[in-house]
Homo-oligomer: A and B are copies of this chain.
Amino acid sequence: MGGFRLLIVGGVAGGASCAARARRLSEEAEIVVFERGDFVSFANCGLPYHVGGVIGREEELLVATPELFRERLRIEVRLQTEAVAIDRRRQRLRVRELASGRESEERYDALVLSPGARPIRPDWPGIDLPGIFSLRTIPDARRIRGWIQEHRARTALVVGGGYIGLEMTENLVRRGLSVTVVEREAQVLPLFDPEMVAPLAETLQAHGVKLRLSESVVGFEPDPAGGIRARLSSGAAERADLVLLCLGVQPETELARQAGLEIGERGGIRVDAHLRTSSPRIWAVGDAVEVKDVVTGRWGPVPLAGPANRQGRIAADVIFGREASFRGAQGTAVVGVFEETAACTGPSEKALRRAGLWGKEGPFEKVFLHPGHHASYYPGAEPIALKLIFRRDNGRLVGAQAVGRAGVDKRIDVIAMAIQKEGSVFDLEEAELCYAPQFGAARDPVNVAGMIAANVIRGDARIAHWEDLEAFSGLLLDVRSEEEVRRGRVPGSVHIPIDRLRERLEELPRDREIWAYCFVGQRSYLASRILQQRGRRCRNLSGGYRTYLHRGGRVAS
């Protein structure tokens, strides 16, 4: 029979980290990794930047090679070898060498599935035309680079405005292509809330990218002038030398399904907290599995490299008898889009609404703010648009989104840690973070977010949101300066500069609610405090005029 035999299907991210950890835990075990593709342990998050030429050579994407696995870890890697069937009873894995078609059966004591996910490729007419690509592997990148060069491609159509879509857009622009992005939703980065991504859309357009939002591709056809013609849901058409499908991924579950492993409601392999599938000797990790969202408690695929890596490590721990479990995922993610960075952790308002968890009187509240990424008195402070979602009753943190040119990932990472530790807005308020003028502020954006949210919970600042303005019958008060108001204001607003508010108090009605706004919400917070103490009912419009503009609000002059 031989010794303990661990087989791993899939040698990227989760599979590779599982293999390496397994070897560190056991010098005795035989460990074999089967990888359908040509490479193990490659950096697929780097692929867009390789297409764009930022990462020059393909080899740079190889985090580890089969040689390294063999030499350093005594792990056998079989490339271009597909796992085709699992015999659970006999603990056998059937694998097929892709080149020869030769099949063989491999005994296992433990089997780890890390097959990943594949790009979604809809059944559209013409989808198989040459020049239409997805990007998931090194050969994909090679084909795209080759196509651009051989066909001297000058235009590209990116279908899908999510993370990969925008990264590909930036990198195609970097290579000199004119890019059009088609996105079904009315915004780019559909995982973010729409009011957060306005700066990204502006930046994309400033770089010459054409955005076709609320549009879908319905089919492709060869263009008489050469290249591909995409027909869109609106009836319009877009011609391009190159089409990139960036519609997200779906878990690779065929092998698991065939083996009768339980599949979750959202299409991923079902695993428990120990990454064990419904079969006791089989584990699964990475993009193919469903994991628990630590905030909402819901299960679903979270195709991110960080969780995949940790899962691989945990599966190895469990297989070798450790107490280990995966705490779940919170969906922390970041994307660079030209000069802008967008990052998030925890669910968006949109996701909570979709899950039926966000209602008018529901448990959640949100605040918007626009602090500088470092002290304003030090040159180069860039505003961060920050949205914080928390529980109304106890201030417990739920999620955050941030967009800006600097310091964005830092603030989301701090909030991600706070969420992980079940922190509240009061913890953000009290956070003690790095401050020197080029790095932060005496009141870091994280502190300010916490203070604003804590003020809401304590009742010091009642807030309102722009989306409720239409149904609002009270008085809309603009407390900005004359000069700011001249450059544009919200239609129907009454203007009293903050510094004149106390002396002009009698101009304001006692019988109607007042909603106040300034540019970012700070002066109107003071206004709301003044008015509240002088017997008026007042709310502060969270995020101010800047959030109003980000929502695409109409401007009066």
B contact residues around A45 at 8 Å (CB):
375, 435-437, 442
B contact residues around A439 at 8 Å (CB):
334, 336, 341, 343, 409
Number of copies: 2
Of residues 114 to 155 in A, which have CB atoms within 8 Å of B's CB atoms?
Answer: none
B contact residues around A377 at 8 Å (CB):
43, 46, 55, 60-61, 63
Of residues 424 to 444 in A, which have CB atoms within 8 Å of B's CB atoms?
Answer: 427, 429-440, 442-444
Q: Are B431 and A46 in contact (CB under 8 A)?
A: no
A526 at the interface (CB under 8 A from B): yes
B contact residues around A332 at 8 Å (CB):
432-435
Q: Could you say which of A2-10, A238-246, A267-275, A415-423 contacts chain B?
A: A415-423
Q: Could you say which of A82-90, A228-236, A301-309 contacts chain B?
A: A301-309
Cβ contacts A364-376/B at 8 Å (1 or 0 each): 0000000000010
A534 at the interface (CB under 8 A from B): yes
A211 at the interface (CB under 8 A from B): no
A396 at the interface (CB under 8 A from B): no
Q: Are B334 and A436 in contact (CB under 8 A)?
A: yes
Q: Are B433 and A416 in contact (CB under 8 A)?
A: yes
B contact residues around A55 at 8 Å (CB):
377-379, 437
Q: Are A526 and B72 in contact (CB under 8 A)?
A: yes
B contact residues around A27 at 8 Å (CB):
502, 529-530, 533-534
A24 at the interface (CB under 8 A from B): yes
Cβ contacts A43-54/B at 8 Å (1 or 0 each): 101100100001
CB-nearest residue of chain B relative to A334? B434
A499 at the interface (CB under 8 A from B): yes
Partner of A420, one of B310, B422, B431: B431
With A414-B413, A414-B414, A432-B306 already in contact, the answer to whether A440 and B334 are too (CB < 8 A) is yes
With A46-B375, A72-B498, A377-B61 already in contact, the answer to whether A306 and B54 are too (CB < 8 A) is no
A484 at the interface (CB under 8 A from B): no
B contact residues around A13 at 8 Å (CB):
442
Q: Are B442 and A309 in contact (CB under 8 A)?
A: yes
B contact residues around A444 at 8 Å (CB):
306
Partner of A430, one of B420, B437, B529: B420
- By the criterion of a CB under 8 Å from any partner CB, how many residues of chain A are at the interface? 89
A26 at the interface (CB under 8 A from B): yes
Q: Shortest CB–CB separation between residue A179 and chain B, in angstroms?
A: 19
A327 at the interface (CB under 8 A from B): yes
Q: Shortest CB–CB separation between residue A545 and chain B, in angstroms?
A: 18
A187 at the interface (CB under 8 A from B): no
CB-nearest residue of chain B relative to A498? B72
Cβ contacts A431-461/B at 8 Å (1 or 0 each): 1111111111011101100010000001010
Q: Are A499 and B433 in contact (CB under 8 A)?
A: no
A547 at the interface (CB under 8 A from B): no
A345 at the interface (CB under 8 A from B): yes
A249 at the interface (CB under 8 A from B): no
CB-nearest residue of chain B relative to A163? B436
B contact residues around A73 at 8 Å (CB):
526
Show the binding face of A for B, using Cβ within 8 Å.
13, 24-28, 43, 45-46, 49, 54-55, 60-61, 63, 71-74, 163, 167, 304-310, 313, 322, 327, 329-336, 341, 343, 345, 375, 377-379, 409-410, 412-414, 416-418, 420-423, 427, 429-440, 442-444, 446-447, 451, 458, 460, 498-499, 502, 523, 525-526, 529-530, 533-534
* 9 closest residue pairs by CB, A with B: A421-B421, A334-B434, A305-B442, A410-B410, A409-B434, A27-B533, A71-B499, A417-B417, A24-B529
Beyond A43-B375, A306-B442, 18 additional pairs, beta carbon < 8 A: A24-B460, A24-B525, A25-B460, A43-B377, A163-B436, A167-B436, A305-B435, A332-B435, A334-B435, A334-B436, A335-B436, A336-B436, A336-B438, A414-B416, A416-B432, A417-B423, A417-B431, A418-B421
